[in-house]
Structure 1
Amino acid sequence: MAVTQQLARIPAVYLAACRQTASASPDGDPRWDPPASDVLDLDWAPALLARLGEVSGLDEARLDALRQATDGDTALDLGFLNTHPHAIGPFGPVPTALSSAQVARVSELLDQIDMHSLLAALPTDEREAGYLIGHGADHIIGGPREYLLKHFNALRDFYLDAAKRHLLIVLWWD
């Protein structure tokens, strides 16, 4: 199974309940199980999306928002989600999160990104576009454009919904 980036949009009270459950459990199990409808599998898209923004000349504020949308922040203590044997992301960096205020700001900036313009800045040949992006984008079946558009739209929509619902987002690799 491939390691891919996962995101979950959750209420702060759910995170607090998981933290409390982990501390009360003899084995540290937080009972982390957000609803499937509030989880997004971004596959390997984060590095490709950031690179697309870089090579296409995306302005710094939106590029930073795109990175933050997939990197998260370490301000929220998620150590209890990274404890063996119940770690949610045992194959990657420690889980990170964005507060609901951060989610709202990132969502607003993601919604301002014109993905079609970014993709239009790539070479017309899909393989050349993939080479320019790097990170294996030249091997994506169907080419990088469709893949990046699909994953960006999913990311943007996920953040828009989280912002509307005042949720925070937890990110990990699994």
Structure 2
Amino acid sequence: MAVTQQLARVSVEYLEACRTRAEESSDGDHQWDPPAADSLDLDWAPSMLARVCEIAGVDDSRLAGLRRATDGGAVLDVGFLADPHIGPFGPAPAALAPFEVERVSDLVTGIDFQAALAALPSDDHAAGALIAAEDGFRGLRTYLTVHFDALREFYAEASKRGLAVVLWWD
């Protein structure tokens, strides 16, 4: 089974309820179960999306926003979600508070991803080698566009609804 990045949009109140359940449970079970409609599987795309933007010379603040969108933040403590319950692979779960989500959404929305993709070599093999994609990756630009658009829309909706975003690898 492949390890992929997962994101969930949740209210701060939901996170606090999960924290309380974890503290009250003998085994730390927080009963984490965000709605499927508020979840996003970014697959292996995060590092490739950032690499495309680096190569294209995307503005440093927007690139930092993209990285923050996939790395999380430190304002909300979600350590209670950690292994063995979710995210036993990779770094511990992280989260962005609603005010951070709004900022990240604005920065990511400001990235012209099609222009960034245009900075890559036209050959998928050569482009893939530059961004550390698996050798022989077919449909690379489509894959990257689908995942970038999904990330942008996910954050825009979270920002609009005043939600936090929790990230983990699973």
TM over 0.5: yes
Q: Distance in 2 between matches of 1:170 and 1:7?
A: 6
> How far is the alpha carbon of 1:74 from its aligned partner?
2.4
Question: In the alignment, what sits opposite 1:55?
Answer: 55
**Which secondary structure state, in structure 2, belongs to the residue aligned with residue 132 of structure 1?**
helix
Q: In the alignment, does 2:161 pair up with 1:165?
A: yes
Quote the residue 1:28 is aligned against. 28
Report the equivalent of 1:44. Answer: 44
Structure 2 counterpart of 1:78 = 78
Is the 2:124–2:138 contact (alpha carbons within 8 Å) kept by the matching residues of 1? no
Question: Quick one: distance in 1 between partners of 2:102 and 2:79?
Answer: 24
Matched to 1:149, the amino acid is T
Residue matched to 2:146: 150
Do residues 140 (structure 1) and 137 (structure 2) align? yes
1:100: which partner in 2? 98
Please tell me the residue identity of whatever aligns with 1:157: E
Offset at residue 103 of structure 1 (A): 0.3
Report the Cα distance in structure 2 between the residues aligned to 1:30 and 1:141, rounded to whole angstroms.
40
Counterpart-to-counterpart distance in 1, 2:74 and 2:30 = 19
Percent of aligned positions that are identical:
58
The amino acid of 2:92's aligned partner reads V
Give the CA deviation at 1:139: 3.0
| Alpha-carbon distance between aligned partners in 1 of 2:141 and 2:30, rounded to the nearest angstrom | 39
Q: What is the number of equivalent residue pairs in this alignment?
A: 170
Let me know the Cα RMSD of the aligned residues: 1.0
Tell me which amino acid in the other structure corresponds to 2:120: L
Q: Hey, what's the Cα distance between the residues in 2 that align with 1:139 and 1:89? A: 29
Deviates more, 1:117-126 or 1:162-171: 117-126
- Contact kept? 1:9, 1:168, Cα under 8 Å: yes
Gaps of 5+ in 1: none
Q: Match of 2:9, as an amino acid?
A: R
Offset, 1:148: 0.7
Change (3 A) 1:83 1:125: closer
TM-superposed CA distance for 1:135, in Å, is 4.1
